[in-house]
Every structure is written in C-alpha cells, then in structure tokens.
Amino acid sequence: MLAGSGHAAFAVDVGSDDAFAALHDSVQAWLGTGRALDVLVNNAGIASGGALVDTTMEEWRRVLEINLLGVVRGCRTFLPAMLQRGSGQILNIASFAGLAGAPSIMSYGVAKAGVVALSEQLRAELHTTGVDVSVACPAFFQTNLLQSWHGDPNMKAAAQRMMQRSHDSLDHVADRVFAAVQQRAFLILPTHAEPLRWRIKRWFPEFYFRRLTRAVAAMTRSKT
C-alpha cells in the first residue's frame, strides 16, 4: 500500500478471488470501522482480438477471468457494505465493443457484453437500495490498453490506428463519464460517435448491420 494526503493505493490481481479478499481487508482497515466505499469503479481489463476460429480457449479463459469476472469480484467484494449503509455508486467500465456486435473482437467483445448485462441486472437488483449502478461503453481513444494485447497482431495494428485517429481524448472521456455518474445515468457512451451509433443499432438493426459490415470490408481492403 502507498498512502498519503488522504489517498491510498493498493495493488490487486483482479483475476484472483483471494487477492480481492485481501484487498477488501486492506481497504477496510484503511477506511476504519463503520465506513464503506462511496464509489466503486471496476476498470481493469486486457485487450484481445481475432476471429473465433483463431482464438484459443486459453485466451477466452484469461479475458473472461479478468474483463468480466474481475468486475463480478469487485461488485461482490464491496457491495455488501454499501447495502448495509444504504448508499453507494458502482461504475463498471465496459466498452462499445460490448454493444457493437462487431467481428474479430470475439473474446473481448463477449466479455464486455457480459459487463453490460451484469450492470443491467445489478441495477434492477439494487433498485430501492440506495446503491446506483452505471456502465460506461467508450469506443477507441488513446490509452495503453493495447500493451496487454492477446490475439491477432493485424487486429492489434488496426486497433492502434483507430486509437490514433480518434477525436476523443482521455480527459474528454473521463469528464463525460464523471458528469454522467454525477447525474446517476446508467448507460454512458462517452465518445463522440457512439450515442448515434447505439441509437441506429437499436432503432434500425439491419441498417446498422449493413453499415457495420461495409465498414469492416473497407478496413480489410485498406490493409491489403
């Protein structure tokens, strides 16, 4: 643990049940008796990409263990104290990949879709308890996520290009997420193009699918 000026930093393996139990004990000791977290942000994740037939079960297990079950562990660990107090905010960081239905991001997209579904169900489960749930689904913007890449190197290169071309900055995304959480919004789409894309997918799913497949085909041609 690193602590000072009212802040503390703890290291945890989000893929480990035991590590989360130890984190809970450390955080509770730092907070003191009778206190609980006000806000829980489940943000840790790794990146992966590739077609289903090119994935391995090892990749699936690792990505689901961290990107989905890591969120489950965070909620299970810190939610009980919030429920006991009758207030709190949980923010789960998913991805627009969990909504987009795009190809060649199989394990990553499925894990993030699971985070969205988990958040929806948890929101309903916690209704009237005083604990609010939000889920953020950003698209590409410049981060260090690709340092954890598993899978097709061509997809990694494509993801890097999309990050570099993004009109969204880390500060912009963080500010939009923060503002939305303050308003107790549930589904947060903090990158510029995604609110419209999400509405097109919901209202005109076949039109969205045609647009999606054309965009993927254009990206494929640009690499050849």
DSSP 3-state assignment of 189? coil
pLDDT value at position 145?
A: 80
Class of residue 40 by CB neighbours under 10 A (exposed 0-12, middle 13-18, buried 19+): buried
Whether this model's pTM surpasses 0.85: yes
Catalytic residue, candidates 20, 78, 96, 108: 108
pLDDT mean values, one per 10 residues, the chain (224 residues): 72 93 92 86 91 93 96 96 94 96 92 98 97 95 80 79 83 95 96 95 96 82 56
Three-state SS for 82-122 is HHHHCCEEEEEECCCHHHHCCCCEHHHHHHHHHHHHHHHHH
- d(CA 97, CA 107) in angstroms, rounded, equals 10
Q: Is 208 one of the annotated active-site residues of the chain? A: no
Do 193 and 139 meet the contact criterion of CB atoms below 8 Å apart?
Answer: yes
Contact present, 44 and 20 (Cβ < 8 Å): no
Predicted confidence at residue 156, as pLDDT, reads 79
Res 196: pLDDT: 96
